[in-house]
Amino acid sequence: QVQLQESGPGLVKPSETLSLTCTVSGGSITNYYLTWLRQPAGEGLEWIGRTYINGSPTYNPSLKSRVTISADTSVNRFSLQVTSVTAADTAMYYCASGDIKIDYWGQGTLVTVSS
């Protein structure tokens, strides 16, 4: 069974770049669509984007200009970067596998944007 684990700073300053990594175990990332989502406290789920090893990433237009998703097959990890963050980017961030259906989720990592 695939397992995913997010990691990265829990606190980011406004205008800086949020960087998270998702380590995948139990399967090769070359076999899956890799997705990032987020959820502000007490709110619903927002799809950030997804990538596939042999394809180009696809991003939510609401974030597209600020988001980069990349993957490193050598260490079976994929990453998320969000530039120029504001308080509105404060959320629980989830990495997940799948696209048409999201089968496996990481436990999530809380990122707070604050000075």
Site membership for other proteins, residue 26 (CB under 8 A): no
Residue 59 CB, nearest approach to other proteins (Å): 8
The residues, ordered by sequence, that sit 6+ positions from 12 with a Cβ below 8 Å of its Cβ are: 18, 85, 89, 111, 112, 113
Would you say 75 and 90 are in contact if contact means Cβ atoms under 8 Å apart? no
- Residue 107 Cβ vs other proteins, minimum distance, rounded to whole Å: 6
Piece of 16-24, 71-79, 82-90, 103-111 that binds other proteins (CB under 8 A): 103-111
Which residue carries 């969000």 as its tokens? Answer: 82
The site for other proteins (CB under 8 A) is made up of: 44-47, 49-50, 58-62, 94, 96, 99-103, 105-108
